[in-house]
Amino acid sequence: MVEVLPPDAIEIAAAALAAGQLVAFPTETVYGLGADAGDPAAVTAVFEAKGRPSGHPLIVHLADPGDLDRHAATVTPEARKLAAAFWPGPLTLVVARGPGIAAETVGGLETVGIRVPDHPVALDLLRAFGGPVAAPSANRFGSVSPTTAEHVIEDLGRLIDYVLDGGPCPVGVESTIVDVTGSRAILLRPGGIAAPEIESVIGAPVVDGRSGPVRASGMLASHYAPNATVRLVEADQAAAIIDDAAAGGARVGLIAPFADRHRPSWQLPDDATGYATALYATLRAADRRGLDLVVVVPPSTGELRDAVLDRLYKAAAPRPA
């Protein structure tokens, strides 16, 4: 059973990591499920707790941007510039894997995703532990990332040793992932740092390397959790879709950047940055209502709109069987 630790119980958490245990901790993006990145058994336990296929590489967290050279086999000029500009912060750099990172951590790849998180509790833990910490988002495979300690307990309470409770995560969506192993930066996942910011630092375009969901217009539907189906729609479609589904007897909820008389509904900020902060907690809240359908209207503006749309497309995409 998980033990919940206050955010200053750093020594207990660091000793647990050193002993090969699993410790969930807050970052500025989402809660991570931490393990010693150099310990194959600890890393294997992370995959088991998450129910995640072992070929999916984990992100490695460092305390100090200066430690990049210690764990990367080579650091390109692009990687160096981005680390200097955005660390600590919500940017993961995929670089050639160097010493101290177990092959199991990265699913046998020759590369590793590394970031320095911008959160005082995460940084205290990383400093006290004194080495690289592998940490995927602290949720079961296939569910949305946790942005509070309660979310971690919901998903993994029976499967991990500790969670450091640092309150809600301020960014709310995961880090941006950029492959900087070559001379061209490749965007693998939009996230907490917007692509134009990255482009202005490296002075070159970022190549879109996403193989992800098709950017189809109209509606996409899927199951992101046991009961609710998510439909991503434009603001002016929402009322008709809700009415149709409700007329057919479905229990329907709405998540939108505007107030609505429909119940249940959750109003999020129209700016994507504020929308992102609340998004995962809101999806979990909607799911707890036992709805058949959750209609979601995206934010209309803001730097993090790409990241929010990406997560909404994923929530609404048909799941692989």
The DSSP code sequence of 251-319 is -EEEEESS--SSSSEEE--SBHHHHHHHHHHHHHHHHHTT-SEEEE---SBSTTHHHHHHHHHHHHSPP
Q: At which residue do the structure tokens 């329907």 appear?
A: 252
Order of all β-strands in the sheet with 265-267: 221-223, 229-232, 293-296, 252-256, 265-267
Least distance to Mg ion, CB of residue 185, Å? 22
Residue 228 is classified by DSSP as: -
Q: Which of 59, 72, 220, 283 binds ligand TXA (CB under 6 A)?
A: 59
Name the residue nearer to ligand TXA (CB basis): 7 or 90.
Answer: 90
Regarding 177 and contact with ligand TXA (CB under 6 A), the answer is: yes
Among 7, 38, 57, 88, binds ligand TXA (CB under 6 A): 57
Residues 27 and 188 sit within 8 Å (Cβ to Cβ)? no
How far is the C-alpha of 22 from the C-alpha of 99, rounded, in Å? 22
Q: How far apart are CA 108 and CA 265, in angstroms?
A: 44
The region of 146-154, 155-163, 169-177, 204-212 touching ligand TXA under the rule CB under 6 A is 169-177
Is the CB of 137 or the CB of 277 nearer to Mg ion?
A: 137
Binding to Mg ion by CB under 5 A, coded x per residue (else -) over 123-152, reads --------------x---------------
Whether the CA torsion 15, 20, 22, 25 is positive or negative: it is positive
Size of the site for Mg ion (CB under 5 A): 1
If binding is defined by CB under 6 A, does position 146 make contact with ligand TXA? no
Q: Which two tokens stand for residue 122?
A: 């995460």
**68-97 positions binding ligand TXA, by CB under 6 A:** 90, 92, 94
Strand partners, 295: 231, 254
For ligand TXA, give the closer residue by CB, 30 or 254: 30
| Contact status: 106 vs ligand TXA (CB under 6 A) | yes
Query: Quick one: which of 18, 24, 134 has its CA closest to 71?
Result: 134
Q: Which is nearer to Mg ion, 137 or 176 (CB)?
A: 137
| Residues 17-56 as x/- pattern, contact with ligand TXA by CB under 6 A | ----------x-xx-x-----------------------x
Over the Cα atoms of the chain, what is R_g?
20
Q: Is 188 in the site for ligand TXA (CB under 6 A)?
A: yes
Q: 54, 106 in Cβ contact below 8 A?
A: no
Query: Count of alpha carbons within 13 Å of 210, Cβ hemisphere only?
Result: 19
Among 5, 36, 42, 111, binds ligand TXA (CB under 6 A): 111
Estimate the crossing angle of helix 10-18 against helix 120-129, to 10 degrees: 50
Please, which residue, 106 or 228, has the CB nearer to ligand TXA? 106
Residue with smaller CB distance to Mg ion, 137 or 147:
137
Partner touching 246 among Mg ion, ligand TXA, none, CB below 5 to 8 Å by kind:
none
Q: Is 265 a binder of ligand TXA (CB under 6 A)?
A: no
- Residues binding ligand TXA: number (CB under 6 A): 24
| Interacting residues with ligand TXA (CB under 6 A) | 27, 29-30, 32, 56-59, 90, 92, 94, 106, 109, 111-113, 117, 135-137, 174-175, 177, 188
| Interacting residues with Mg ion (CB under 5 A) | 137
